[in-house]
Chains A and B, each alone.
Chain A
Amino acid sequence: MKVEIDNLTISFPSPQGMRAAVRGVSLTLGAEKLGIVGESGSGKSLTARALLRLLPGSAVVRADKLNFDGIDILKASERDMRAIRGRRAGLILQDPKYALNPIMTAGAQIAEAWQNQRKASRKEAMQAAIDLLAQVQIRDPKRVAESYPHELSGGMGQRVMIAMMLAPDPELLIADEPTSALDASVQAEILRLMEDLVSRRGMGLMLISHDLPLVSHFCDRVVVMYAGQVMEELQAGELVRAKHPYTRGLLECLPSLSHPQTRLPVMSRDPAWLA
């Protein structure tokens, strides 16, 4: 499995004509962990969604190359896309409260995802769901399988989402701010779990977040986006050696426990970054 994005542009119609929200983004991803970091409006989520063709109908997508494992996403039929979405590539969203079906038990939702591509009985599917819940380190998988989403905590809900996305054995996992709605202690657990599962299954992971230090902790490579463009690509361990003033700015304006500052530096945005 290889994701190749070359010169991707996504535009939306506005009263002033077409406005590009993503401008000339290029990146590749194999069986590795890639982080995409940027502030709101940087185009990080749009880039990931373009890969699954999950953009609003008004979006105009152009690219020299937008491939998932050799399949041209721009030309693929809706039937081809259905074979990718939720099967070969899973998407995990920020808030499990909204992403899970409120009137189905967690187990039934995972079983449905598992059955999606297999011929199996409902009983087998339920057993598979309970296995998957155990794999995402839920202590009492049977009870959780029988629970409805509102009966689960945020961290538990996100584990259910991950179990559901892992059910069809995908090759790529796209996680869009998977832990932003969670407490710091749960956040670390969920990311460690995702990292572990992805490495063990040899999957690719695209982790989208606004949190640069967090992402660099869990990914191999980090792409920093600003206003629809890639500013810089870094090896995760080299965060301290980031060169681009935008990346440096993002790091410096964070209040820190170990390095107190009386006044936080404020980022000055240089129009030349978008040249």
Chain B
Amino acid sequence: MISVQDLVVRFGPVEAVRGVTFAVGEGQSFGIVGESGSGKSTVLRALAGLNDDWSGRMTIGGVALGPKRGRAFFRRVQMVFQDPYGSLHPRQTIDRALSEPLIVHGIGDADRRIRQALAEVALPSSVRFRFPHQLSGGQRQRVAIARALMCEPEVLLLDEPTSALDVSVQAEVLNLLADLQDRRKLTYVMVSHNLAVIAHLCPQLGVMQGGEMVEMLSASDLRAGRVSHPHTADLRRLSTELEEA
């Protein structure tokens, strides 16, 4: 479904991503972990068409991606960001936020679709005419997910989707993402600094450091400690040390 080959992303003289290659099958989840500045979000943003200055080869569903993406691309690929408060317009109601993708893509039947979308992310219909600031953080992230799903994409790019949430809400959102993937056969690429969150949702993952993907492994290998790169081992140790406290 998604293939990325030798992706290089530059910011002026700096190479933020230096030759990253991975592939994700249809209906699968691929996770990218790394510390801040490792380039993990940059990979995702390049896939989403938010960074122009990249080279290499990226395809989604067999279609090669160019520097500029058309409307058809965004119908197939949508992104969910870390901070739902920053990604929803503060002066627009939830109804407006959810209608916009429909208007942009010329999809009709807005009323039914919005009601269905809210139900799908388990939000009460009463939130429809509220503003983002009237919702809790978890509810806002559900709205952001609902919005990404409005035009029925095949691929969701998830950039730290639960990092700004309380742990109890994080569990609910992770369960929701798993359910949605099951129901809609979505393909996920998820970026997080939290190894346990990535391993929970993604059977395959890549570890990034300094703009390079230093290791690719399965979640079960990670859990069992079958890792080859020292950075993966470091991240794993930090994560398990606290669990065993």
Contacts and interface: CB of A to CB of B under 8 A. Distances in A.
Given A184-B193, A255-B200, A210 B242 contact: no
Interface of A: 39-40, 154, 183-185, 188, 210, 212-214, 216-217, 239, 249-250, 253-261, 263-267
B166 A185 contact: no
Interface of B: 35-36, 137, 166-172, 174-175, 178, 193-197, 199-200, 219, 222-223, 234-236, 238-245
B171 A40 contact: no
A266 B176 CA distance: 11
Nearest to A187: B238
A188 B199 CA distance: 21
B171 A264 contact: yes
Nearest to A218: B245
B197 A266 contact: no
B238 A185 contact: yes
A267 B171 contact: yes
B234 A255 contact: no
A267 B172 CA distance: 9
A258 B200 contact: no
A210 B167 contact: yes
A265 B242 contact: no
B132 to A, nearest CB: 16
Given A217-B241, A257-B199, 10 more contacts: A185-B234, A185-B235, A185-B238, A210-B166, A249-B168, A253-B170, A255-B174, A255-B196, A257-B236, A257-B239
A183 B238 CA distance: 10
A266 B175 contact: yes
A257 B36 contact: no
11 contacts: A239-B245, A253-B171, A255-B171, A255-B199, A255-B200, A257-B243, A258-B244, A259-B243, A264-B171, A264-B174, A266-B171
Contacts of A40: 137, 166
A39 to B, nearest CB: 4
Nearest to A264: B171
Contact of B245 (A39, A210, A213, A266): A213
A46 B235 CA distance: 33
Contact of B243 (A249, A256, A264, A266): A256
